[in-house]
Amino acid sequence: MNPTLWRRLLAEFAGTALLVTAVVGSGIMATQLSDDIGLQLLENSVATAFALGALILTFGPVSGAHFNPVVSAADWFLGRRTGTGLSARDLGGYVVVQTAGAIGGAILADLMFRLPAVDFSAKHRTGMDLWLGEVVATTGLLLLIFALARSGRSSVAPAAVGAYIGAAYWFTSSTSFANPAVTIGRAFTDTFAGIAPSSVPGFIAAQLVGLAVGVGLLLALYPSVGSAAGDVVVAHPDDESVRS
């Protein structure tokens, strides 16, 4: 039995907020510490990877630590036939709180560095090359998460998912947003990690394509992957201390 819905939604809100705080905050700090853009990206990616792993460990036992509407949507879709994973009601709640948390996280990072709370980004990120990068990043993320769950290795998800996102900063042209909620949140800060609001729809569309490609590959590679949807990203323990 999973924790009650309101507790899971709170965990998804807080976890997504802190994730975006880490992404944006480390980007701001990187620009303050170095003038070299390669070093700035290294600092930003390392901080994000470690923060993501820690947040999955923290919130995974409560909500599964999705922090990402694409992961939640795949969890709902793949689990429908086996009665596992998120319900449609849960999915709607997850997407709303993840998006709200991402916006709140960007605002929190700006305030910590004495910047305007909301300053929409002027950094345009558009073009087929960047959209293809988002398809690749999102597809790879879903393959990793659900393959770990299907093979009973969800316990290594914090390290594996953090490592993947840290690496994808470097091997994708888009620096691997791979998350519609985080993409929206990053539009609220005109800093290193920002994205112009006009560029957000293209990124989200590419992420949804990645969702479709990732789900299709998962069904081809792991036909029974839906049975493991309840273990994404981290299995929910049947422990009274967590539920109560």
Asked if residue 59 belongs to a domain, the reply is yes
**What is the pTM assigned to this prediction?**
0.94
CATH code where residue 120 lies: 1.20.1080.10
Asked if residue 206 belongs to a domain, the reply is yes
Q: How confident is the model at residue 237 (pLDDT cuts 50, 70, 90)?
A: low
Q: Mind listing the pLDDT tens digit for each residue in 210-236?
A: 999 999 999 999 999 988 888 888 755
**Looking at residue 52, what is its pLDDT?**
98
Asked if residue 241 belongs to a domain, the reply is no
Asked if residue 236 belongs to a domain, the reply is no
Q: Is 163 exposed, middle or buried (0-12, 13-18, 19+ CB in 10 A)?
A: middle
Asked if residue 235 belongs to a domain, the reply is no
Asked if residue 243 belongs to a domain, the reply is no
Asked if residue 240 belongs to a domain, the reply is no
Asked if residue 55 belongs to a domain, the reply is yes
- Taking alpha carbons only, the member of 164, 156, 120 closest to residue 233 is 156
Structural domain tally of the chain? 1
Q: What is the dihedral of CA 13, 18, 23, 24, to 10 degrees?
A: 90
- Percent above pLDDT 90 for the chain: 86
Q: Mind listing the pLDDT tens digit for each residue in 85-129?
A: 899 999 999 999 999 999 999 999 999 999 999 999 999 999 999
Domain extent, residue 99, equals: 5-226
**Quick one: DSSP state of residue 201?**
H
